């Protein structure tokens, strides 16, 4: 891209910013105005103009004087990985509390919660063992919650693409072996999250299914479209009453290699060594920061991300970005000069990754205290460029949210879809039934390349993308706190 | 992001894919269907259903068996930087021709064009020299087209934020000095391209303006929001009749440092050494691949990117991605089983970065041959996740394009805005006046972090994002070739 026509691009992009709407009629596109003017076709012109200016202030503050990026640098770089029960998780709790106190929120407090404490251990090794004893080392990692191997575990391997295929195998084909779940992502799906959902049963329940059939271990293809050497961890669930067998993820390259070698030699063996273990539960905390509503202090809007992260990297996109965006959303409201009419809470949830105890406790306390929750927002899909929000709500509430689209569209944050809010806020539904559970939605094409791997590091986060997300969330909160639902 | 609710996310995202529309009414969002069904509200139901299925085939082919990513790996990794006139530019021409011949297009040919041949030379060095002769080395690079310094050039520095400020300075404040253009990106603008457009005069014309006032050199703040040590090159333009002074970019960190030191010591000096030079023009080529239209062979649709790239890195996002996406777009049509009704041309333009001779020659030949051009598409804004297209066209043509929005929206490629098509295709307007000049539009938040720097490398390109872009372009071409404009 060169120079002389960029003045033209300048003019063009100002229009495009307000007009990147699917199927937008060109007449509308040409009429689209910068964010400081209110959309002409809205009935409540004056209020809209004030709201449009308010959002512009929030984005100016976020992009010019944002604090989320430096906060994330500290959380990911200085504290680092912070799986529930770890010393780093405790450091993250203290840092979150101190950061929100420093930001001057009205009230900052902890909610105690007992969390699982799983540790990976020092040793983690996987090898394909050929006919003549030739060993090929491959990239593996224990799945979260897995039992260890108790020394070396060596056995044959049977590859399956589905539970159905596993169930149809004769018992002898499975008993005493590793079951190797190797159904790849469906790469032609446009949303990687859908591919994750459709392949995810292998990780979540594969080891349990394999154990039922007498397998001694489970190997699971990493949940990603990427072809590389990063194994992807993540929780697996055992049947509490059934046998627990060691469960490991293979990188996609390792899975492809194992599959290829199996075709040539069905009798090859796999040797796995993992020292992971589950220790007694530990005491931990959700961290809550609150700005009291000026008019309706008993009506609550929650915005949150999860403070815990997998142990292989720094938990940058999963979910350091959600944590710093949630704190930033409250800070932006104040820094831009707004006192919310309803009470707004930033919640840094503990233990989303392997138990959701923080989310459950937050909901339990909300019910116990008979709190009135208007809406809850969660950011847990990465810190990439905004697309909008996914919402669980009644149609009338959706219609109300949809009216705010024109205010958010200049920021590419006007996408509104029926969808899942988030794991942390989900328990609020049964507990206090907020009018809307809202998931922040952003570009997701890169997310599963690094999700739950050693590559989920600070350098993968772009400052502007992160800040646009925090300001989008703050903008929605501004509207929710002003108008309710 | 954790596991148990991802089955729900799977269902949700399938809806979201079709419904991420700004301000979309929730009733619509809930009705949104996967891409294999035609939108219900379209008058031409049967045709739409066929077209919807056609686009799905194109995306399946692109995402499951795409070739653009491996092509890009070769172009950026094996050939590398390929500034006009360089041996690598010639290698890229030969590679482009061979790649399209191998793809089996109906006709592949070269268009000869003479191009500028600027070389950076071996030596490039910048130092801030303090009062006591203390030297601080800073990150600099010559701007494209700059003259060299002919040994060391040492002079005082005067900092300005605008040409207006420069013009108001007394002659003595400028004469014999470096003028330091240090107006940063306006970070609160949502589109980085707008910020680039608004700051870009400093690079394009700053050295010329400084020379007019008697300066001996120009230092220009790099055109980016990023704060780092990468200087950003790019063309500068001299007044052919006026004096030519050496012109260098400073990294943003270097610019901030120089500005800070100038505040403490207005008399500091800067020492610049650059061995760059302009050599005689070289013979080079556009590379053209063509699939003949089955019904209207004389109606032409062009899709292109530019083959040349700046010399500091690999020209990955600028514009290797546009090159491989353009070739891929034609390949996808055939691989998905479609023979276009109108003639489709992939054009790999030479010399976009510092002269646009390829674009001008393509247009000149089109006029000379009295060709009928329906539309031209250019991809030169990076290979990131699609948003849609920016179009220069009459309102009636825009309205026709807008009707295809529902077909493109499941792929997040339905954004339609009035905007600039691209530098390479721009000369077609005066030459043969296509009904539409169309610029492929994608997420741009990261683009100017790496643009024209040593960081514009293959690893910055995400396979899925690249492939979604190529399939989006192929989809638009499918529709254009079937229906015309």
Does any CB of chain A come closer than 8 Å to the CB of residue B197? yes
Reading the block at residue B70, the tokens are 């491996």
Residues of B whose CB is below 8 A from A425: none
User: With contact defined as beta carbons under 8 Å apart, do A305 and A322 qualify?
Assistant: yes
Chain B interface disruption, residue of A417, A419, A444, A448, most B CBs within 10 A: A417
Reading the block at residue B260, the tokens are 């800070």
A38 has pLDDT over 60: no
Give the pLDDT score at A44.
Answer: 56
Give the pLDDT score at B131.
Answer: 74
Chain B interface disruption, residue of A9, A319, A408, most B CBs within 10 A: A9
CA B324 and chain centroid, separation: 13
Please choose, from the candidates B132, B176, B131, B123, the residue with its C-alpha nearest in 3D space to the C-alpha of residue B152: B123
**Closest Cβ opposite residue A5 in set B20, B415, B426:** B426
Calpha distance A85→A350 (Å, rounded):
10
User: Which residue in chain B has the smallest CA separation from A460?
Assistant: B460
How close A289 gets to chain B, by Cα (Å)? 22
CATH tag, A121-275: 3.50.30.30
Classify residue A264 by burial, with Cβ atoms within 10 Å: 0-12, 13-18, 19+.
exposed
Please name the residues between 107 and 126 in chain A that touch chain B, using a CB distance below 8 Å: none
Residues of B whose CB is below 8 A from A395: 26-27, 30
Please name the residues between 1 and 30 in chain B that touch chain A, using a CB distance below 8 Å: 1-17, 19-27, 29-30
User: Which residue in chain A has the smallest CA separation from B309?
Assistant: A1
Please name the residues between 345 and 364 in chain B that touch chain A, using a CB distance below 8 Å: 352-354, 356
User: Which residue in chain A has the smallest CA separation from B12?
Assistant: A419
SS (H, E, C) chain B: CCCCCHHHHHHHHHHHHHHCCECCCHHHHHHCCCCCCCCCCCCCHHHHHHHHHHHHHHHHHHHHHCCHHHHHHHHHHHHCCCCCCCHHHHHHHHHHHHHHHHCCCCEEEEEEEEEEEEECCCCEEEEEECCCCCEEEECEEECECCCCCCCEEEEEEEEECCHHHHHHCCHHHHCCCEEEECCCCCCCCCCHHHHHHHHCHHHHHHHHHHHHCCCCEEEEECCCCCCCCCCCCCECCCCCCCCCCCEEEECHHHHHHHHHHHHHCCCCEEEEEECCEEEEEEEEEEEEEEECCCCEEEEEEEEEEECCCCCCCCCHHHHHHHHHHHHHHHHHHHHCCCCCCEEEEEEEECCCCCCCHHHHHHHHHHHHCCCEEEEEEECCCCCCCEEEEEEEECHHHHHHHHCCHHHHHHHCCCEEEECCCCCCCCHHHHHHCCCEEEEEEECCCCHHHHCCCCCCCHHHCCHHHHHHHHHHHHHHHHHHHHHCC
How close A157 gets to chain B, by Cα (Å)? 26
Give the pLDDT score at B93.
Answer: 99
User: Which of A125-139, A176-190, A343-357, B276-290 shows the lowest per-residue confidence on average (mean pLDDT)?
Assistant: A125-139
CB-CB under 8 Å, B20 with A417: yes
Q: Which residue has the higher pLDDT, A317 or A132?
A: A317
Residues of A whose CB is below 8 A from B310: none
CB-CB under 8 Å, B187 with A464: yes
CB-CB under 8 Å, B418 with A26: yes
Residues 6+ apart with CB under 8 A from A366: A300, A373, A428, A431, A432
The one catalytic residue in A124, A159, A273, A352 is: A352
How close A33 gets to chain B, by Cα (Å)? 12
Average pLDDT, chain A: 92
Give the pLDDT score at A133.
Answer: 77
Give the pLDDT score at B356.
Answer: 98
Give the pLDDT score at B46.
Answer: 72
User: Which residue in chain A has the smallest CA separation from B59?
Assistant: A188
CB-CB under 8 Å, A193 with B418: no
Average pLDDT over residues A426-451: 98
CATH tag, A45-116+281-483: 3.40.630.10
User: With contact defined as beta carbons under 8 Å apart, do B341 and B483 qualify?
Assistant: no
Per-residue pLDDT for chain B (485 aa), expressed as one digit of tens each? 543 222 222 233 333 333 332 233 233 333 333 333 334 444 456 778 999 999 999 999 999 999 999 999 999 999 999 999 999 999 999 999 999 999 999 999 999 999 999 999 998 999 999 878 789 999 999 999 999 999 999 999 999 999 999 999 999 999 999 999 999 999 999 999 999 999 999 999 999 999 999 999 999 999 999 999 999 999 999 999 989 999 999 999 999 999 999 999 999 999 999 999 999 999 999 999 999 999 999 999 999 999 999 999 999 999 999 999 999 999 999 999 999 999 999 999 999 999 999 999 999 999 999 999 999 999 999 999 999 999 999 999 999 999 999 999 999 999 999 999 999 999 999 999 999 999 999 999 999 999 999 999 999 999 999 999 999 999 999 999 999 99
Residues of B whose CB is below 8 A from A59: 188, 190
Cβ-count burial B70-90 (b if 16+ within 10 Å, e if not): ebbbebbeebbbbbbbbebbb
User: Given this structure, which CATH class describes domain B45-115+281-483?
Assistant: alpha beta
Chain B interface disruption, residue of A14, A18, A22, most B CBs within 10 A: A22
Q: With bands split at pLDDT 50, 70 and 90, how would you rate the model's confidence at A305?
A: very high
The one catalytic residue in B299, B328, B352, B426 is: B352
User: With contact defined as beta carbons under 8 Å apart, do A121 and A148 qualify?
Assistant: yes
CB-CB under 8 Å, A192 with B22: no
Residues 6+ apart with CB under 8 A from B128: B135, B136, B138, B257, B258, B261, B268, B269, B270
Helix (H) or strand (E) holding A30: helix A26-31
Give the pLDDT score at B199.
Answer: 98
Q: Which residues pair with A236 in a beta bridge?
A: none
3-state SS class at A392: strand
- The domain ranges of chain A are 45-116+281-483, 121-275
CA B380 and chain centroid, separation: 3
Q: What whole-number percentage of chain A has pLDDT above 70?
A: 91
Calpha distance A10→B193 (Å, rounded):
6
Does any CB of chain A come closer than 8 Å to the CB of residue B271? no
Q: With bands split at pLDDT 50, 70 and 90, how would you rate the model's confidence at A389?
A: very high
Q: Which residues pair with B390 in a beta bridge?
A: B417, B439
Calpha distance B191→B225 (Å, rounded):
11
Q: Is B271 a catalytic residue?
A: no
Question: In terms of DSSP bridges, do strands A247-250 and A140-142 run parallel, antiparallel, or are they unpaired?
Answer: antiparallel
CB-CB under 8 Å, B192 with A26: no
User: With contact defined as beta carbons under 8 Å apart, do A326 and A472 qualify?
Assistant: no
Does any CB of chain A come closer than 8 Å to the CB of residue B408? yes
Give the pLDDT score at A73.
Answer: 98
Calpha distance B253→B231 (Å, rounded):
9
A1 has pLDDT over 90: no
Please name the residues between 281 and 340 in chain A that touch chain B, using a CB distance below 8 Å: 318-319
The pLDDT tens digits of the residues spanning A254-290 come to 999 999 999 999 999 999 999 999 999 999 999 999 9
The pLDDT tens digits of the residues spanning A346-366 come to 999 999 999 999 999 999 999
Does any CB of chain A come closer than 8 Å to the CB of residue B172? no
CB-CB under 8 Å, B409 with A15: no
3-state SS class at A8: helix
A-B Cβ pairs (cutoff 8 Å, strict) = 317
Q: What is the ipTM of this complex?
A: 0.91
Calpha distance A386→A381 (Å, rounded):
11
Residues of B whose CB is below 8 A from A420: 5, 8-9, 12
Calpha distance B8→B1 (Å, rounded):
13
Average pLDDT over residues A46-69: 95
The pLDDT tens digits of the residues spanning B339-357 come to 999 999 999 999 999 999 9
Cβ neighbours around B396 below 10 Å, total = 10
Question: In terms of DSSP bridges, do strands A342-349 and A217-221 run parallel, antiparallel, or are they unpaired?
Answer: unpaired
Torsional class of A108: left (φ above 0), alpha (ψ -120 to 50), beta (otherwise):
beta
Residues 6+ apart with CB under 8 A from A232: A141, A222, A223, A224, A249, A251, A451, A452, A453
Half-sphere exposure of B349 (CA within 13 A, CB side): 36
Does any CB of chain B come closer than 8 Å to the CB of residue A53? no
Does any CB of chain B come closer than 8 Å to the CB of residue A419? yes
Calpha distance B265→B269 (Å, rounded):
10
Q: Which residues pair with A272 in a beta bridge?
A: A126, A153
């Amino acid at each position: 891209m060169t120079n002389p026509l960029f003045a033209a691009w300048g003019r063009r992009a100002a229009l495009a910013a307000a007009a990147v709407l699917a199927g937008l009629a060109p007449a509308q596109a040409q009429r689209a105005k910068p964010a400081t003017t209110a959309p002409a076709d809205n009935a409540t012109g004056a209020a809209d103009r004030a709201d449009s200016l308010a959002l512009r202030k929030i984005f100016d503050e976020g992009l010019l004087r944002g604090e989320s990026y430096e906060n994330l640098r500290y959380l990911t770089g200085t504290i680092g990985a912070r799986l529930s029960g770890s010393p780093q998780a405790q450091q993250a709790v203290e840092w979150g509390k101190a950061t929100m106190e420093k930001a001057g929120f009205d009230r900052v407090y902890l909610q105690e919660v007992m969390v699982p404490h799983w540790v990976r251990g020092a040793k983690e090794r996987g090898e394909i063992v050929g006919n003549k004893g030739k060993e090929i080392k491959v990239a593996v990692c224990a799945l979260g919650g897995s039992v260890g191997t108790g020394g070396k575990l060596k056995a044959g391997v049977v590859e399956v693409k589905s539970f159905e295929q596993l169930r149809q195998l004769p018992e002898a084909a499975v008993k005493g072996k590793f079951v190797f779940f190797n159904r790849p992502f469906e790469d032609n799906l446009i949303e990687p999250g859908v591919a994750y959902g459709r392949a995810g049963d292998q990780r979540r329940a594969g080891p349990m299914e394999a154990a039922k059939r007498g397998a001694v271990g489970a190997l699971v293809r990493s949940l990603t479209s990427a072809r590389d050497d990063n194994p992807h961890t993540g929780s697996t669930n055992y049947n509490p009453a059934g046998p627990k067998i060691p469960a490991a993820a293979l990188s996609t390259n390792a899975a492809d290699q194992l599959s290829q070698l199996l075709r040539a030699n069905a009798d090859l063996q796999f040797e796995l060594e993992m020292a992971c273990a589950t220790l007694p539960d530990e005491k931990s905390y959700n961290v809550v920061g609150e700005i009291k509503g000026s008019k309706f202090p008993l009506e609550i809007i929650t915005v949150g991300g999860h403070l815990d992260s997998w142990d292989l990297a720094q938990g940058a996109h999963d979910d350091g970005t959600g944590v710093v965006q949630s704190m930033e959303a409250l800070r932006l409201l104040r820094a831009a000069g707004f006192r919310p009419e309803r009470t707004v809470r930033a919640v840094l949830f503990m233990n989303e990754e392997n138990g959701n105890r923080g989310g459950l406790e937050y909901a339990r306390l909300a019910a116990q205290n008979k709190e009135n929750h208007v809406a809850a927002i969660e950011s847990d899909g990465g810190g990439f460029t905004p697309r909008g929000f996914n919402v669980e709500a009644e149609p009338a509430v959706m219609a109300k949210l949809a009216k705010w689209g024109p205010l958010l569209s200049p920021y590419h944050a006007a996408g509104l879809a029926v969808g899942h809010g988030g794991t942390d806020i989900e328990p609020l539904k049964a507990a206090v039934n907020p009018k809307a559970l809202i998931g922040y939605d952003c570009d997701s094409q890169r997310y599963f390349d690094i999700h739950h791997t050693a590559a989920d590091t600070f350098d993968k986060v772009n400052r502007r993308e992160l800040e646009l997300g925090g300001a989008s969330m703050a903008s929605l909160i501004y509207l929710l706190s002003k108008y309710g639902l």
